[in-house]
Amino acid sequence: MKFKALRLYSEDGKRVCRMVDQTLADLDPGDVVIRSQYAAVNYKDARAVTGVGNVISRFPCVPGVEVAGVVVESADPQFRQGDRVTVQGGREFGMRRDGGYSEYVRVPGSWIGRVPQGSDGFDMVGMGLAAYTSAVAVDALMKHGVTPDRGRVVVTGGTGGSSSFAIDMLAGLGYEVVASTGKTSEHDYLKMLGASDVIGRDGLTTGDKPLEEQLWAGAIDVVGGAPLDKLLRSMQKGGVVCAFGNAAGESFTTSIYPFILRSVSLVGVNANHPVPERGEVWQRMMPGGDLHPRHIQDICYRIPFGQLQAHCDKLIASGVRGRAVVTFDE
């Protein structure tokens, strides 16, 4: 049986992705073979496909860190043919071992999570790492005492997948959410998700002083770099910033004053957990949970597998709205 896969090669010091024909013998070993139905496109997936950065550490390799589909073969007694499953997260899948951008994938059974009743594969990878990371950040804000009555919460990276989910969840919990974006054409989209106000990137702070006007009770920062410094200088006393992105830069410069004069907390969020290791927060994202996104169908959209490379080029060059889900059966 032959099938299509997007495989990344290292050639003469350059990283090159090609759509190739494969057989199961070409895939890494594992207990379970899954026929892929949906795969997500994260920013780091786009970096891998376009050869930007060091996401992939083994060559050749199939990128894609999230997939959902149907079991076709299993040597693991936990799974049977026909089971609806998903593989997401961890440090191996789609980075050190063949990942989800393939019509068939093979993985250890310990990496696999079931698609729950009431959900489908599209919802699972549509939410995926983007929504799960945002949910972990929202939960961290709550655990650090940022409640809706404390004041406004700002979300950077406005129209991206993680940002969109964060706005959706926070608004659903009753927070007054402000979205920050450089795309003036997307204000209606962000307000539809639940943002009470939309500001430009310059609206994160009122000036360049080490401490500026106290604007935000909480913040979810998806971009890093200079915007993170602006947030820290504009937090309320006791404010909390949860950070997990680097689209605007992998480093930033700030002063000590937000921390020692306003008791601001900077909380790092790493949610790259395989589905079997996700706990309460993942369960709260399922239908009926308080962190279940209300606008999955508005945030996520389908692209055919054959258009994946072009979409990744666009994502790296200029960003996109929401979150793309690759379809293999449509």
Q: What's the angle, vertex CA 109, arms to CA 274 and CA 305, rounded to 5? A: 70
Has residue 254 been placed in a domain? Answer: yes
Angstrom distances, CA of residue 39 to CA of 141, 163, 266? 29, 19, 32
Supply the pLDDT for residue 330. 64
Q: Which helix (DSSP H) or strand (DSSP E) does residue 259 occupy?
A: helix 257-261
Single-letter residue type at 152: R
Has residue 123 been placed in a domain? Answer: no
Are residue 198 and residue 235 in the same domain, yes or no? Answer: yes
CATH of residue 309: 3.90.180.10
Has residue 105 been placed in a domain? Answer: yes
Q: Which residue(s) pair with 21 in the sheet? A: 4
As a whole number of angstroms, the distance between CA 267 and CA 145 comes to 13
Are residue 62 and residue 155 in the same domain, yes or no? Answer: no
What rounded mean pLDDT belongs to the chain?
95
Are residue 246 and residue 152 in the same domain, yes or no? Answer: yes
Determine contact, residues 195/173, Cβ cutoff 8 Å. Answer: no
CATH of residue 153: 3.40.50.720
pLDDT in tens, 300-321: 999 999 999 999 999 988 778 9
Are residue 31 and residue 155 in the same domain, yes or no? Answer: no
Has residue 33 been placed in a domain? Answer: yes
% of the chain exceeding 90 in pLDDT: 90
Determine contact, residues 106/28, Cβ cutoff 8 Å. Answer: yes
Are residue 102 and residue 167 in the same domain, yes or no? Answer: no
| Structural domain of 317 | 3-115+296-327
Are residue 159 and residue 238 in the same domain, yes or no? Answer: yes
pLDDT in tens, 208-257: 999 999 999 999 999 999 999 999 999 999 999 999 988 888 999 999 99
Are residue 262 and residue 310 in the same domain, yes or no? Answer: no
Has residue 41 been placed in a domain? Answer: yes
Are residue 238 and residue 136 in the same domain, yes or no? Answer: yes
Has residue 285 been placed in a domain? Answer: no
Instruction: Give Cβ neighbours of residue 279 (< 8 Å, ≥ 6 apart).
Output: none
pLDDT in tens, 38-62: 999 998 999 999 998 788 989 999 9
Domain boundary among 268, 285, 307: 268
Exposure b/e, 64-78, CB count within 10 A at least 16 = b = bbbbbbbbbebeeee
How many structural domains comprise the chain? Answer: 2
Has residue 284 been placed in a domain? Answer: no
pLDDT in tens, 147-169: 999 999 999 998 999 999 999 99
